[in-house]
Amino acid sequence: MRILIMGGGGREHALAWAVAKSRDCTALFCAPGNAGIAEVAECVSLPIEDGAAVVAWAREARIEFVIVGPEAPLVAGVADALRAAGIATFGPSAAAAQLEASKSFTHEIAAACGAPMAAHAVFDDPEAALAHLATLAAPPVVKADGLAAGKGVVVAETADEARAAVDAIFAGQFGTARAVIEERLIGEEASLFALSDGETVLPLATAQDHKRVGEGDTGPNTGGMGAYSPAPVMTDAVTEQAMAEIVRPAVAEMARRGTPFAGVLYAGLMITAEGPRLIEFNVRFGDPECQVLALRLGSDLLAALRAAAEGRLAEHRLDWQPEPAITVVMAAKGYPGAYAKGSVIGGLDAARKLEGVTLFHAGTAEKGGQITASGGRVLNVSATGPTLAEAQARAYQAVDAIDWPEGFCRRDIGWQALAREP
C-alpha cells in the first residue's frame, strides 16, 4: 500500500516510524517531512492545506491511504477532498474538525451530550465580556475562539490579567473577535486519546504533556516540552469514566448531527476532585504525546488507522507494551518566543545508539550532510525502560550525548508521575 503522511513534526516522524514497520506499507511519503522522517519516507513539498493540490499529487503518486497529522489541513477540509476523490484518509471531516477549531462549538457539543466541562460564557462584544469579568469571584481562563496554536489561552492569576486577555482578543491578536471565558478547573491535567470510526470508539493509551516552557511547569505555554505514557493519574477507573461521560457521548452526538467524527479524538482533561472534566478536544494526535504512544504500541499502527478510516474498529484490537515511554523535547533557545534557525546539531548517532533510545526529529533539515535546526521544537529524545525513572534516565543520557549548544530542554519531564512512585 502506498501511503502519504501529512505534516513535518515529531508527531509525524513517530507516525512514519511506526507505519514504515507495517507489512502493508510498500511506499511511504511525507509532506513536508523533515530530516529524520527522510530516513523512513520520501519527503515531498506540497501545500498541505490545499485540498485540490494534495488530491492532484496523491493521484499522480498512486497514493492509497493518507494520514493527516496536524489540525490545519483537517480544518481546511483536505480529508474531505481526498475522500471525495476516492482516496482513503485517516482524519476527520472539516465539519467534525470544528471540535478543535472552535471552543464554543466544543462547549455546545458537550452541553448537548452531558459531557462535564468548566462553566463558561461566550462573548462577541468586549463590553459584555468585561462586564462578565466583573461578576466573577475568581480569575477565570480567557480563550480566543479559534485555532491559535496553543497561544490563545490565558489562565489568569488576577482580574487585571483577565481584562488584558479580553482586550487582546478584541484587538484582533488571535484572528477572532470571539472570547470564551471559563471557570478555572483545579486538578492534574492528562490527555486521553481514542480512535473513532464515527461510531465505535477505541481508547488508546494515556499520556501527560508538559505545556509550560520552564521546569516545575512555569513560564509561557508551548506546543509541549515533553510527554510520557502511561499517565498514572489516569487510572483504569478514571479512564473508563472519561470514556463513558465525555468521549463516547461526544462521538455519538457528532454522529447524531450527521457530522460523524472519524479519526483520533484527543481529550484534554483536568482530573478534578469531582472526576474528569473536559478542557478541550483536539482532532489529531498530540505532539509530543503521539511519540510516546507510538513507542508503546505493540500492534500495527497502520492497521488501526485503516480500521478507523474504514469503519472497522468494532473488530479491531490493540496491544500495548507495559514499559513506560518518555520523550524530551529539545527546542531552540528562545522558544516559544523568537529563536534562530540553522544551527548545526551533532552527536545524534551516539545518542540513538543508547539502550532503549529512539530519536524523533521535529524541526530539522539536512544541509550538506549536516543536520540543522529549522524550527522551535527541534528534537524529541525518546526512551522506554522498565520503569519511568529508568526511561527518563536513558532519555537524558541521550540528551547529554547530543551536541547542540543552541538548544535547551526541560530537565524534569515525567515529574508528576515520578512524584507518585514510592
Q: Which residues pair with 141 in a beta bridge?
A: 155, 182
Question: How many Å separate Cα 88 from the centre of its chain?
Answer: 22
Decide whether 54 or 225 has the Cβ nearer to ligand GLY.
225
Decide whether 51 or 276 has the Cβ nearer to ligand AMP.
276
CB of 166 vs ligand AMP, minimal distance in Å: 15
Q: Residue 289's binding partner, choosing from ligand AMP, ligand GLY, none, with beta-carbon cut-off 5 to 8 A by kind?
A: ligand GLY
CA nearest neighbour of 352 among 379, 333, 378? 379
Give the type of residue at 331: A
287 near ligand GLY (CB under 6 A): yes
Give 405's DSSP letter. Answer: T
Dist. CA 121–CA 381, nearest whole Å: 40
Half-sphere exposure of 222 (CA within 13 A, CB side): 30
Residues 189, 209, 253, 300: which binds ligand GLY (CB under 6 A)?
A: 209
Give the type of residue at 241: Q
The footprint of ligand AMP (CB under 6 A) covers: 118, 141, 143, 150, 153, 155, 182, 184-185, 189, 211, 268, 270, 279-280
Q: Which stretch binds ligand GLY (CB under 6 A): 86-94, 127-135, 280-288, 330-338?
A: 280-288
3-state secondary structure of 100: helix
Residues 104, 282, 291, 364: which binds ligand GLY (CB under 6 A)?
A: 282
CB of 56 vs ligand AMP, minimal distance in Å: 34
CB of 228 vs ligand AMP, minimal distance in Å: 16
Decide whether 327 or 372 has the Cβ nearer to ligand GLY.
327
Decide whether 174 or 404 has the Cβ nearer to ligand AMP.
174
46 and 54 in contact (C-beta within 8 Å)? yes
Can you tell me which residue has the cell 515533553?
226
Give the alpha-carbon dihedral of 317, 247, 311, 68, to 10 degrees: -100
89 near ligand GLY (CB under 6 A): no
Q: Residue 224's binding partner, choosing from ligand AMP, ligand GLY, none, with beta-carbon cut-off 5 to 8 A by kind?
A: ligand GLY
Site string (239-278) toward ligand GLY, x via CB under 6 A:
----------------------------------------
289 near ligand GLY (CB under 6 A): yes
286 near ligand GLY (CB under 6 A): yes
Cα angle at 42 between 223 and 298, to 5 degrees?
Answer: 65
Packing angle between helix 159-170 and helix 126-133, nearest 10 degrees? 170
Decide whether 280 or 390 has the Cβ nearer to ligand AMP.
280
Strand ranges, E, within 333-403: 344-345, 357-361, 364-367, 370-373, 377-384
Residues 198, 224, 276, 336: which binds ligand GLY (CB under 6 A)?
A: 224
CB of 282 vs ligand GLY, minimal distance in Å: 5
Can you tell me which residue has the cell 466573577?
136
33 and 9 in contact (C-beta within 8 Å)? no
Dist. CA 113–CA 185, nearest whole Å: 20
CB of 111 vs ligand AMP, minimal distance in Å: 15
Q: Residue 352's binding partner, choosing from ligand AMP, ligand GLY, none, with beta-carbon cut-off 5 to 8 A by kind?
A: none
Half-sphere exposure of 47 (CA within 13 A, CB side): 7
Give the type of residue at 341: K
Q: Residue 286's binding partner, choosing from ligand AMP, ligand GLY, none, with beta-carbon cut-off 5 to 8 A by kind?
A: ligand GLY
Binding site for ligand GLY (CB under 6 A): 209, 223-224, 282, 286-287, 289
